[in-house]
Structures are given as structure tokens and as C-alpha cells.
Amino acid sequence: LASPPRAVNVDLQTDATLQVDISDALSERDKVKFTVHTKSTLPNFKQNEFSVVRQHEEFIWLHDSFVENEDYAGYIIPPAPPRPDFDASREKLQKLGEGEGSMTKEEFTKMKQELEAEYLAIFKKTVAMHEVFLCRVAAHPVLRKDLNFHVFLEYNQDLSVRGKNKKEKLEDFFKNVVKSADGVLVAGVKDVDDFFEHEKTFLLEYHNRVKDASAKSDKMIRSHKSAADDINRIASSLYTLGTQDSTDLCKYESLLKLLTFLCFKIEARVAADEDLKLADLLKYYLRESQAAKDLLYRRSRALVDYENANKALDKARAKNRDVLQAETSQQLCCHKFEKISESAKQELIDFKTRRVAAFRKNLVELAELELKHAKGNLQLLQSCLGVLKGNT
């Protein structure tokens, strides 16, 4: 697999001190093996350039280690890449194989090509998502120094991080339940700081709207795909029809059909590209905005802890018991809260900058892609019509 182009959704500053990319990927039966390639001038690494092979679970392990690290509470943790999911595509290919007998050789070949292209597209996307995650980490001033990250990049053996077992998954589930209950509690606390109050309101609404838009764009894509599938089948059928005719007159007809077939093909292809661009962008920002919300939540938690520590200190002073302990605790909470607030502010500003840049890039690319395709279609249609109408 040739090195996939840089992640489309994010605009990252990279520098020579640490560059990470996924140089290769291999899709096996039930897993994908990513070759993570690093180039670095940092002294932490034994070599300047090296590669390791990682699987999805190891990415998740790395992500989770960031989330669980208290020191990183004040940062937007780059969202974990979604699990590679080839099930649907594989199922379609399998169904095609089963139905081979019921269609003509041409139909089968064409459908197979289409499905393989689809599989390839999904594959490329999953590689890109994993790469984006690593690049975001590498671009982050603090996270890039994380020890686990370096181990992830450099350690050329299996990290032996098996997927979470049932018990762990259940624990996660409860953690999330508690979090959302807390979230409701915490969201009610009005923030003294205008900046954060605004961000909270904004992010809550924004996240919901992105979620909605993402779901609706998926639905739209599915319809478009269904229509495109129909068009493919029609094209194959037209092709069969054409080859059956024996007289010269009808051969002309079969040429006409080939033309139609081609125009159809163009439309079917375009449907996939442009929809995916927008849909992927929305999906990505759904995850990012969730990560930003998580940051706000952690800050709110820290604020609540701080306020509780204040109350505890007051109580301790009133009773004149364990005052020192209460003071230390309060100072720690204060420090933690301020640290988070400071970095959170910068993170949220960066998030906005990144978001605006990413949308701009993608919307421009989307428009350019649409135009390119439409102009190509137009040219093709004009040529076809010219020929059909007898003007050569």
C-alpha cells in the first residue's frame, strides 16, 4: 500500500523533531496491521528513523492511557480512531460470491470491482483515522513527550495489550454512567469565568448539532449508495442487453447503451466521494467536540473538588481540627483547577482554530471536487450528445 496522503480532516503543524505516519497497512482476516513509521531528532529515541507494527487495540491502549493520566486532565485528548470495520463490506463480497451463479460474467466482474473499491476505500479511511490520531499526539507540545507514546512508537515487540475483557468493559460502562450523571450536576454550576461559560454553552449545542448532522449525512449517503448500486446494476443489464443484439442496427443500440452506461458510472462514483468528504469531516468533529466536552467536564469536576475542598477547609478551621491537612488538600485542588483552566483555555482556542481550518479546507475541497466532477460529466455528456446527434 503506497503511503496514504496526509489526514484530510486536520491541519497540523509538524516539525522535524518528531514526524509520525503510517507507512503501510495490511488487512488480515480479522485484524489490520499498521506500520507506524517515525522520524525524529529527539534524543529520547535510539535511532532517527524506525518503524513498528501496531494493531488497533494498541492505539486504544495509548488513548486510554492519556485519558487516565491526571497530568493530562487539562488537555483535549485526541479522539481514539474508530475500530476498523470491514464486516459490512466483507459480507457484501461474500454475498456476491454466493450469487455468482445467478448473474452473467460481466455483471459479476463489475460488481466485484465495485465492492473491492468500496473495501479499499474503507481500508484507506481507517488507515487515515489511525494516522490522524498519532499525528495529533505528535503535534501536541505535551503529549508528544509522553513515555507511553514513545514506547508505542519504538518498542518493536507486541505491546501485549489485549482488548478489554468483559469485566473491564463493564467498569468502563459504569464509569461513563457516573460521568454523565456528574455531567448533569456539573453542567448546572454556572462558571465565574465568562470564557468557559460561553464555551460550555457553545460546545453542548455544537456537539449535539454535529451529531445530528453526522447521522443525517450518513442516511443521505446510504440512499445515494442505494441509487448508485441500482445504477450499477442497470449499467450491467444494459451491457448484457447490448451484446445480445445481432444485427447492425441493434449494434448501434448497444453503443448507445454503452454511452448511457458510462454516464451512469460517473454519477455513481461521484456520489461516494463527495458525500464521504462531508460525512467524514462531521464524524471527526463529533469525536473532537466530545473530547473538548470531556475536557470541560474534567475542569468542572476539578472546580467542584476545589469548592468542596474550600468548604472542608472552612469547616476544619471552624472546628480547629485537621486544618493543615485541609489546607494542603485545598491548595492541591486549587493548583489542579488552575492548571487545568489555564491549559484548557489554550486548548479550546486551538480547537476552534483547528476546527475552522479543517472545515475551510474540507468545504473548499468539497466544492472543488463537485465542480471537477460536474465539469467532467458535462464534457462527457456534451461529447456523447454531439456524437449521438450526428455532429462530429
Partner 1 sequence: MAASSDRNPPPFPSSEEPEAGLSDMADGDSDEGEDIFVNNSNPVAVSRGVSQPDGVNEEPPDLFSEEEASNPITKSNGVHSDDDNDLFAEAHVELSTDKSGNSSGKDLSSVSGPRTTSSFNQSPASMQPTSLEQLEEEEAKDSFDVDVAVTNPEKVGDGMNAYMAYKVSTRSSLPMFRSKTFSVRRRFSDFLGLYEKLSVKQSLHGCIVPPPPEKSVVGMTKVKVGMDDPSSVEFVERRRAALERYIQRVVSHPSLLQDPDVREFLERDDLPRAVNTQALSGAGFLKMINKASDAVNKMTIKMNESDTWFEDKFQEVENEEQQLRKLHALVDSLVNHRKELCGNTAVFAKSMAMLGNSEDNTALSRALSQLAEVEDKMEQLHQEQAASDFFIFAELLADYIRLLGAVRGCFDQRMRAWQRWQEAQSTLQKKREAEAKLLWANKPEKLQQAKEEITEWEARVTQYERDFDRIGMTVRKEVLRFEKEKAKDFKSQIIKYLEAMLQSQQRLIKFWEAFLPEAKAIA
Tell me: does residue 121 bind partner 1 (CB under 8 A): yes
Residue 52: which of 162, 157, 176, 197 has the closest Cα?
Answer: 157
Q: Which stretch binds partner 1 (CB under 8 A): 67-75, 159-167, 223-231, 337-345?
A: 223-231
Classify 29 as helix, strand or coil. Answer: coil
DSSP category for residue 21 = E
Tell me: does residue 24 bind partner 1 (CB under 8 A): no
By the 8 A CB rule, do 326 and 316 touch? yes
Going by C-beta distance under 8 Å and a sequence separation of 6 or more, which residues neighbour residue 38? 18, 19, 20, 45, 49, 50, 51, 153, 154
CB of 312 to partner 1, least distance (A): 38
Footprint of partner 1 on 56-115 (CB under 8 A): 109-110, 113-114
CB of 233 to partner 1, least distance (A): 5
Report d(CA 298, CA 300) in Å as an integer: 5
Q: Which of 42, 67, 120, 189 binds partner 1 (CB under 8 A)?
A: 120
**3-state SS track over 230-279:** HHHHHHHHHHHHHHHCCCHHHHHHHHHHHHHHHHHHHHHHHHHHHHHHHH
The residues with which 52 forms a beta bridge, in sequence order, are 36
Beta carbon nearer to partner 1, 122 or 159: 122
* C-alpha cell belonging to residue 24: 503501510
Tell me: does residue 195 bind partner 1 (CB under 8 A): no
Beta carbon nearer to partner 1, 136 or 301: 136
CB of 255 to partner 1, least distance (A): 5
Tell me: does residue 219 bind partner 1 (CB under 8 A): yes
Q: Which of 62, 138, 143, 231 binds partner 1 (CB under 8 A)?
A: 231
Classify 83 as helix, strand or coil. Answer: coil
Footprint of partner 1 on 254-283 (CB under 8 A): 255-256, 258-263, 265-267, 269, 272-273, 276-277, 280
Q: Which of 32, 210, 302, 348 binds partner 1 (CB under 8 A)?
A: 210
Q: Which stretch binds partner 1 (CB under 8 A): 178-186, 230-238, 320-328, 331-339?
A: 230-238
For 309, what's the count of Cα atoms within 13 Å in the CB-facing half-sphere? 20
Backbone angles phi, psi at 37, to 5 degrees: -110, 130
Size of the site for partner 1 (CB under 8 A): 100
Q: Letter for the amino acid at 9?
A: N
Tell me: does residue 245 bind partner 1 (CB under 8 A): yes
Q: Which of 237, 290, 310, 341 binds partner 1 (CB under 8 A)?
A: 237
CB of 202 to partner 1, least distance (A): 6
Beta carbon nearer to partner 1, 57 or 267: 267
Tell me: does residue 42 bind partner 1 (CB under 8 A): no
By the 8 A CB rule, do 77 and 66 touch? yes
Footprint of partner 1 on 309-368 (CB under 8 A): 352, 355-356, 359-360, 363-368
